[in-house]
Structure 1
Amino acid sequence: MSPSPMGKFKFSCIILPFFFISSILFSQNLQLKISENPGFERLVIQSDAPFVYVMMPERDYLSISISKGDFDFKEKIFGKEIIKGVSWDKNSRELKIYFNKKDVKFVSFTLTDPFRLVIDFSEKSGKETQEESSNVVIESGKYPKETKTLQRRSPQIIVIDPGHGGEEDGAIGPKGLKEKNLVLSISKKLKNIIEQRSGLKVFLTRDGDQAKSLDERVSIANNLKADIFISIHANASVRKNAKGAETYFLSLNATDEDARRLSQIENLGSEIEENSDLKLILWDMAQSAFLKQSSILAESVQMELNSLLKTTDRGVKQAPFKVLMGVTAPAILVEVGFLTNPEEEGMLSSDSFQEKIAEAIYRGILRFIREREKY
């Protein structure tokens, strides 16, 4: 019988000492090791070579996507005080760790010679809250030298682009919240979440109130050989009741008049080439499948924004955003909400709501990675 999810899963960080390993399950080239120690239980995934991993805390279990290697089991029940059991799906490359406890926290780190992903689980105390757990600091996995096949199938570098900056404020809400400050805060939160829960490398096109041209942002992504590019913005409208999040990927023709007008605003201050040049860029991107992947990434992020934020779903759209042109990777632009809507400005100014936005985008990235590996 497959282990059943139990209770609500919460997590936070605590550094704990190493104790002996008590039981080992051998596999073809991955080993799963479980140990019981005073105050915590340790799970170790050992491999002959480094692998890329992405951890996703769900309501009642921890999901870990592993880039390569295989276990020789589908399900294992341990019946430990905290860890109830594990399941392994070879097709989706997903390991699920189920719990007997309702409130579980964890910390992860990696070791070398041989490569090991170590995760320590312990029961959360009553004083620890969900807000505190969002600030968990977990060491990210070290990056292996992957083969070309793995680099194609498993993204390793993500570039996050906080829109505007410097003298360019972007949209400004009725109470004075500036887009440039809002999106930088969300971008930093997103970077932290990705680095805390995965072995992915994350870079920001700006980490302070700096002015960056649209061409500079594209160059940063390409020079870093980004596998995913996400530009984060906040919306504005003459209609004060306009609200909700929407996600864009590149197209010569805008989906609707609002999308066309928005792209014109975001492209201000940047020279746009004639349509023939843009068509050439789009043709090149289409040949390398980036447009298809960008559409999947946009759908994945928008779906998670709808699920977590419970705001108006404005859907996935297309428009000729200059910041998306020429990026040699799946690239999207996310409008997280309307600063011109007083109610939404209030929500966007909340640190907890910004955390939710970052969490939703992170979950969208994971959804995209899983979908991408199907083809």
Structure 2
Amino acid sequence: MRRWVCTILLPVVGLVPVGALELKTPAGTITLRQRTAEGTTWVCASQLAEALHGTFARDAVSAYPVLTLSGHRILISTATPVASIDGNLIHLSHIPKENGGCLWLPEEFLTSALSKALGGGVRVVDSAPTERPSMSGPLAAPAEGRMAERVGVDLAVGADYARVTLTGEGLSHAQLRQEGQELVVLLARGSFAETHREVGKGILEKLNAQGATLRLALGAGFERFETLKLLKPERLVILLKGKEQTVAAPPSPIQQPAPPGGEGATQVPSAPPVRTQAFDVIAIDPGHGGTDTGALGPDGLEEKDLTLAIATKFASDLEKQGLKAVLTRTSDVTVPLQQRTALANFNQADLFISIHINSAPTAKAHGTETYYLSKQATDLWSSQLADKENAAGGTESSAPAGGLNLVLWDLAQTSHIVESAALAETIQDEFNTLLGTQNRGVRQAPFVVLEGAQMPAVLVEVAFLSNPSEAKKLSESTFQDQVANALTQAVLRFKARYENPNLAAPQP
């Protein structure tokens, strides 16, 4: 008689302990207990706080867990995959979990949120070698007795490109190939910091990094890719080129549910949000592009070309200073106004700077103007300029029409208004000093391109294309270099103020 043996496999609920994890931080190297679940590594929040000489408690209003590290307050949601550092939102791939008396934090919290709180890079080191999936060709095995380092994954997205930068040891031996609508990177040793990103539509739709494999899901707008290998530190840059990349705009504050315990109350910001020391991502928006030429000048000069030339030089200068620059476009393409700030938000930029060239009915108008957002324009000229720029972008304002929605919209926009004003004043100072252009002042106007920004945001009208003398300067590479340098110096001054709050701030 045949005997049947029935084996019932029960799902394992919770987290499985696997050993210790070594974490390299700006404060030194620490060792933490780690567990694995859902394909990623988790660490205990209270142990992390103790190791970094911080505190772990509960928020009195929302009851959410709070980590305080190096003077920065990290509020952690246990309902959605987000955390906030001093009021600035950080998106995670996993929801932090409470289990066995600990709040367990996923690995991406360590490499993203913790890096910002500590003001520098945080790296995770594997406690044991990881088995590798096979691809064509043999792969080198990890060196005996050597711990494999996590390879960091950084993503930057614009309207006509997506840039993936991998940082870590052993990338020179990594394999990269295209498999249909996917690009696949396989490490010879080490493993990726687990990352899952829903990007949007166009060139790149999804990014998934787990174990030794990174997969990039390509969209209908993808055209080609290029790679670049860099040293000190070892990096592999994958540049995807194409068209019509879009990212999902985050919901407006009026659509977001109130946190638990808040009873739907909205708090009025009494001061600008405190920024973290990890001030390192600048979103640069070259105005106009594609079918939208912007202002027209003599000898065929077009605003869209000049703004892109200046923005490219500005980005290069920032990169030389160790900052990450993200351009909303790198070529002559059309980008809807609201997608420009959506791209800045997606890239978690610390500043948003939109570059434009001015024009006036009279050839005598000259000088630089810097704007920050307001529903009410400073004067008639500012109002007319905003109307012109908004019409060129073909997008209407996203501000609600009235009532409670209007009040909430006001509160959302004023969260960065003080810092935007200070940034505008800093930029204006640099232009006056370095370029000797007429100071036309810092102004306010309802520019649609600034509305959705979740960071300090300004619009700079560099000079007048309608003025023959300034038009000639704008066409010269040397003057464009000066403009880029003035913008870079303004950003560095603004960054220094964040890193040292005792520095005097410019008064708007």
**Structure 1 length as normaliser, TM-score?**
0.59
Q: CA deviation at 1:284?
A: 1.3
- Residue 296 and residue 154 in structure 1: after superposition, are their counterparts in 2 closer, same or farther (change >3 A)? farther
Distance in 2 between residues matched to 1:342 and 1:275, nearest whole Å = 41
Q: CA deviation at 1:300?
A: 0.8
* 1:254 and 1:260 in contact (8 A); partners too: yes
Distance in 2 between residues matched to 1:265 and 1:373, nearest whole Å = 37
Q: Which protein has greater RCO, CA pairs closer than 8 Å, 6+ apart?
A: 1
State whether structure 2 residue 446 is matched by structure 1 residue 320. Answer: yes
Aligned to 1:92: none
Partner of 2:325: helix, strand, or coil?
Answer: strand
Distance in 1 between residues matched to 2:288 and 2:234, nearest whole Å = 32
* 1:324 and 1:333 in contact (8 A); partners too: yes
Aligned partner of 2:296 among 152, 172, 186: 172
Aligned to 1:253: 376
Distance in 2 between residues matched to 1:236 and 1:248, nearest whole Å = 15
Partner of 2:298: helix, strand, or coil?
Answer: coil
Aligned to 1:239: 362
- Residue 306 and residue 29 in structure 1: after superposition, are their counterparts in 2 closer, same or farther (change >3 A)? same
Structure 2, unmatched stretches of 5+, are 1-25, 29-117, 121-166, 170-229, 236-272, 502-508
1:179-258 matches, within 5 Å, as: 179-198=303-322, 200-258=323-381
User: Which one-letter code corresponds to 1:281 in the other structure?
Assistant: W
* 1:249 and 1:295 in contact (8 A); partners too: yes
Partner of 2:488: helix, strand, or coil?
Answer: helix
Distance in 2 between residues matched to 1:337 and 1:258, nearest whole Å = 15
Q: CA deviation at 1:274?
A: 4.7
Distance in 1 between residues matched to 2:474 and 2:346, nearest whole Å = 32
- Residue 263 and residue 293 in structure 1: after superposition, are their counterparts in 2 closer, same or farther (change >3 A)? same
Q: CA deviation at 1:278?
A: 5.9
- Residue 278 and residue 222 in structure 1: after superposition, are their counterparts in 2 closer, same or farther (change >3 A)? farther
- CA-to-aligned-CA distance 1:99-144 (integer Å, 9 cap, x gap): xxxxxxxxxxxx999xxxxxxxxxxxxxxxxxxxxxxxx989899x
State whether structure 2 residue 492 is matched by structure 1 residue 366. Answer: yes
1:37-116 matches, within 5 Å, as: none
* 2:314 and 2:488 in contact (8 A); partners too: yes
State whether structure 2 residue 473 is matched by structure 1 residue 350. Answer: no
Q: CA deviation at 1:303?
A: 0.5
Q: CA deviation at 1:237?
A: 0.3
Q: CA deviation at 1:206?
A: 0.5
- CA-to-aligned-CA distance 1:24-65 (integer Å, 9 cap, x gap): xxxx989xxxxxxxxxxxxxxxxxxxxxxxxxxxxxxxxxxx
**How many aligned positions are there?**
240
Distance in 2 between residues matched to 1:151 and 1:279, nearest whole Å = 24
Distance in 2 between residues matched to 1:139 and 1:243, nearest whole Å = 45
Aligned partner of 2:411 among 283, 286, 289: 283
Aligned partner of 1:311 among 429, 437, 455: 437
Q: CA deviation at 1:354?
A: 0.3
Structure 1, unmatched stretches of 5+, are 1-27, 31-65, 69-110, 114-137, 144-148
Aligned to 1:160: 284
Partner of 1:299: helix, strand, or coil?
Answer: helix
Distance in 1 between residues matched to 2:476 and 2:459, nearest whole Å = 22
Partner of 2:282: helix, strand, or coil?
Answer: strand
Distance in 2 between residues matched to 1:169 and 1:139, nearest whole Å = 39
Partner of 1:372: helix, strand, or coil?
Answer: helix
- CA-to-aligned-CA distance 1:165-187 (integer Å, 9 cap, x gap): 00100001123210000000000
- Residue 142 and residue 315 in structure 1: after superposition, are their counterparts in 2 closer, same or farther (change >3 A)? farther
- Residue 151 and residue 261 in structure 1: after superposition, are their counterparts in 2 closer, same or farther (change >3 A)? closer
Distance in 2 between residues matched to 1:222 and 1:343, nearest whole Å = 37
* 1:247 and 1:315 in contact (8 A); partners too: yes
User: Which one-letter code corresponds to 1:348 in the other structure?
Assistant: L
* 2:370 and 2:442 in contact (8 A); partners too: yes
The structure carrying a bigger strand percent of its residues is 2
Q: CA deviation at 1:197?
A: 2.0
* 1:252 and 1:278 in contact (8 A); partners too: no
* 1:67 and 1:150 in contact (8 A); partners too: no
Aligned to 1:337: 463
Partner of 1:240: helix, strand, or coil?
Answer: coil
| Identity value in percent | 41
- Residue 351 and residue 317 in structure 1: after superposition, are their counterparts in 2 closer, same or farther (change >3 A)? same
- Residue 29 and residue 284 in structure 1: after superposition, are their counterparts in 2 closer, same or farther (change >3 A)? closer
User: Which one-letter code corresponds to 1:270 in the other structure?
Assistant: T
Q: CA deviation at 1:151?
A: 6.6
User: Which one-letter code corresponds to 2:418 in the other structure?
Assistant: K
Distance in 2 between residues matched to 1:160 and 1:219, nearest whole Å = 12
Q: CA deviation at 1:275?
A: 4.8
Partner of 2:293: helix, strand, or coil?
Answer: coil
* 1:293 and 1:372 in contact (8 A); partners too: no
User: Which one-letter code corresponds to 1:243 in the other structure?
Assistant: H
* 1:154 and 1:369 in contact (8 A); partners too: no
Partner of 1:226: helix, strand, or coil?
Answer: coil
- Residue 355 and residue 142 in structure 1: after superposition, are their counterparts in 2 closer, same or farther (change >3 A)? farther
Q: CA deviation at 1:373?
A: 3.5
* 2:400 and 2:409 in contact (8 A); partners too: no
Aligned to 1:262: 385
**Structure 2 length as normaliser, TM-score?**
0.44
Distance in 2 between residues matched to 1:140 and 1:245, nearest whole Å = 39
